[in-house]
């Protein structure tokens, strides 16, 4: 999108999103309390907590329960999927996190075959651990890390990347595109030989209470909640709102729109037509039954969301 087109659209879009009185309570499955309990029970043998979160939402949706329950240990925050995030305000992010007591942060892209930041991880973790007493494990030369995070942020992918980089071995942890794929609780996986380092993979745990509907929507947009629990239509609308708000207009060219629009029905209609996602349905009129072609809004919404998650609508920052 050209700059003049961007400027032409200033002031044209929604500045707040209407959530229509939605309640986030039913978006979150109950099995997650069990995961957290098992994680707490295993903490004794853990030297460092590796918390992974989505780089597009560095502040929203990080599970406060982790902090309350797991805060006793050295901690490293990994902001993953950096390839999908607009990191032009990286320094602001780091400063805000530091003001909230999060000092050890790295950004990663686990899909990249060689990510230099992943190489940094082992030495950084050793350094963090060495700075703090290891309590009852001070004699042990092996390191045990626990990987935590909300669903679908890339915990398994990170473990596989670290193994690839530090152990030259392939995949050990199953990766999936749907939230909640890591069902087996606390699998212990070796990721490094020198020093010997193991990671405990954990199931994705969402906060039992989301601070606001907007935070819930950001989590949904990043794929951490099953789409149908929230609704593809509202996720698509929130996506459109977010793209316009941050002046990320590449959807206009991708879907052959004439200009940016803040009207989700209009955008979905264009997407449906462009992708040939239309349906022929019977309509009863005063003149008898006729067949009309209508856009498949749900299919269009699904494509819009999926394109965003694959990075095809550009890099964004939702916080
Ligand atoms: N673009 C991008 N996608 C990633 C990255 N890391 C992981 N993914 C994708 O994100 C999805 C989830 O990855 P997983 O590694 O299964 O995530 P998880 O946190 O273990 O998921 P749960 O088991 O649901 O808790 C998969 O489709 C991965 O391919 C990354 O750095 N960039």
Judge contact between 239 and 217, C-beta under 8 A: no
- Share the mean pLDDT of the chain: 83
- Domain count along the chain: 2
Q: Could you tell me the CATH number of the domain that includes residue 36? A: 3.40.50.300
Q: Which of 145, 166, 201 is the last residue of a domain?
A: 201
pLDDT tens digits along 90-124: 999 999 999 988 889 999 999 887 778 888 999 99
pLDDT tens digits along 206-224: 766 677 889 889 999 999 8
Residue nearest to atom 17 of ligand 1 (CA): 154
Question: Do residue 14 and residue 60 come from a single domain?
Answer: no
pLDDT tens digits along 147-173: 888 889 998 899 888 888 887 665 555
Task: Give residue 184's pLDDT band: very low, low, confident or very high (50, 70, 90).
Answer: very low
| pLDDT at residue 271 in the model | 96
Give the range of the structural domain holding residue 219, as residue numbers without chain letter. 2-22+212-309
Question: Do residue 81 and residue 14 come from a single domain?
Answer: no
Lining residues, ligand 1, CB within 6 Å: 80-81, 83-84, 109-111, 149, 151-157, 175-177, 179-182, 204, 311
Question: Mean pLDDT, to the nearest integer, of 231-257?
Answer: 94
Residue 315 lies in a domain: no
State pTM to two decimals.
0.86
Question: Do residue 42 and residue 183 come from a single domain?
Answer: yes
Question: Mean pLDDT, to the nearest integer, of 30-47?
Answer: 73
- Ligand 1 centre distance from Cα of residue 281 (Å): 38
Question: Do residue 125 and residue 153 come from a single domain?
Answer: yes
């Amino acid at each position: 999108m050209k700059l003049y087109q961007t400027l032409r659209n200033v002031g044209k879009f929604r500045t707040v999103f209407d959530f229509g009185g939605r309640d986030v309570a039913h978006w979150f499955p109950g099995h997650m309390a069990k995961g957290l309990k098992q994680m707490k029970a295993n903490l004794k043998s853990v030297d460092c907590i590796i918390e992974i979160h989505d780089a597009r939402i560095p502040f929203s949706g990080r599970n406060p329960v982790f902090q309350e329950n797991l805060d006793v240990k050295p901690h490293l925050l990994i902001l993953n999927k950096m390839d999908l995030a607009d990191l032009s305000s990286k320094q602001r992010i780091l400063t805000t996190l530091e003001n909230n007591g999060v000092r050890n942060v790295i950004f990663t892209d686990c899909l990249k075959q060689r990510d230099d930041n992943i190489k940094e991880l082992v030495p950084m973790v050793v350094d963090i651990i060495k700075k703090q007493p290891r309590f009852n494990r001070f004699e042990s030369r092996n390191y045990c890390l626990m990987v935590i995070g909300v669903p679908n942020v890339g915990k398994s992918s990170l473990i596989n990347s670290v193994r690839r980089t530090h152990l030259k071995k392939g995949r050990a942890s199953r990766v999936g595109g749907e939230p909640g794929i890591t069902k087996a609780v606390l699998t212990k996986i070796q990721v490094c030989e020198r020093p010997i380092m193991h990671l405990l993979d954990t199931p994705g745990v969402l906060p039992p209470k989301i601070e606001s509907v907007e935070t819930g929507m950001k989590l949904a947009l990043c794929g951490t909640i099953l789409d149908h629990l929230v609704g593809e239509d509202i996720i698509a609308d929130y996506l459109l709102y977010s793209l316009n708000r941050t002046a990320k207009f590449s959807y206009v060219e991708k879907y052959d729109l004439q200009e940016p629009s803040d009207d989700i029905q209009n955008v979905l209609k264009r997407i449906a037509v462009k992708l040939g996602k239309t349906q022929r349905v019977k309509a009863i009129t005063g003149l008898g039954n006729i067949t009309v072609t209508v856009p498949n809004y749900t299919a269009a919404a699904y494509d819009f969301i999926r394109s965003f998650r694959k990075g095809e609508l550009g890099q964004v920052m939702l916080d």
